[in-house]
Amino acid sequence: MSNAWKIAIVAAVAAAVAVVIIAKQMDSSPAADGARAGGQTSGPSAGLPRLLDLGSVSCIPCKMMAPILEELKEECAGWLEVEFVDVMANPEAARAYKISIIPTQIFFDASGKERFRHEGFFAKEDILATWKELGVDLGAARAAGPAGNQPAPAPLAGESP
């Protein structure tokens, strides 16, 4: 094989590697991964705080979290966005959010900034207490009733109303 062919092959391989690297950089954001994951991780809707649970439908602690997430989704509708992403079906989401243990819950403020992260099973009372520590009293919001006729919860510390 001549040197010209060897140079052409090396150049072609280098170009292919560059294309793959660029494609991965363009598509490695958590929002893009969440969209592929089927979750609504493109950002908070209507400026709501967000609880993102990354787990699997086949893991026992994740299965224990499922009814808690459903309760929060129903009880805090209009106050809190609750999402679940199955990282076994969507491993790119696990990489994007740097997940090493499932389930992992990530608490985001209304602007989309991560405020707290927990690994493992997390009881509903502990989730509500964590939100309260972060400046969002979802217990009071739930007691007040549907969000349609109620004022929005107080902004998180350091967040503008």
Do the domain assignments include residue 79? Answer: yes
Residue-range definition of the domain harbouring residue 107: 30-149
Is this prediction's pTM over 0.75? Answer: no
Residue 43, Cβ neighbours under 10 Å: how many? 15
Q: Name the amino acid, one letter, at 71.
A: E
Q: What is the pLDDT of residues 72-130, one digit of tens each?
A: 999 999 999 999 999 999 999 999 999 999 999 999 999 999 999 999 999 999 999 99
Do the domain assignments include residue 130? Answer: yes
In eight-state DSSP terms, residue 103 is S
Do the domain assignments include residue 25? Answer: no
Q: What is the pLDDT of residues 57-75, one digit of tens each?
A: 999 999 999 999 999 999 9
Give the CATH number of the domain where residue 127 resides.
3.40.30.10
Q: How many domains does the chain have?
A: 1
Do the domain assignments include residue 18? Answer: no
Do the domain assignments include residue 93? Answer: yes
Residue 47, Cβ neighbours under 10 Å: how many? 15
Do the domain assignments include residue 51? Answer: yes
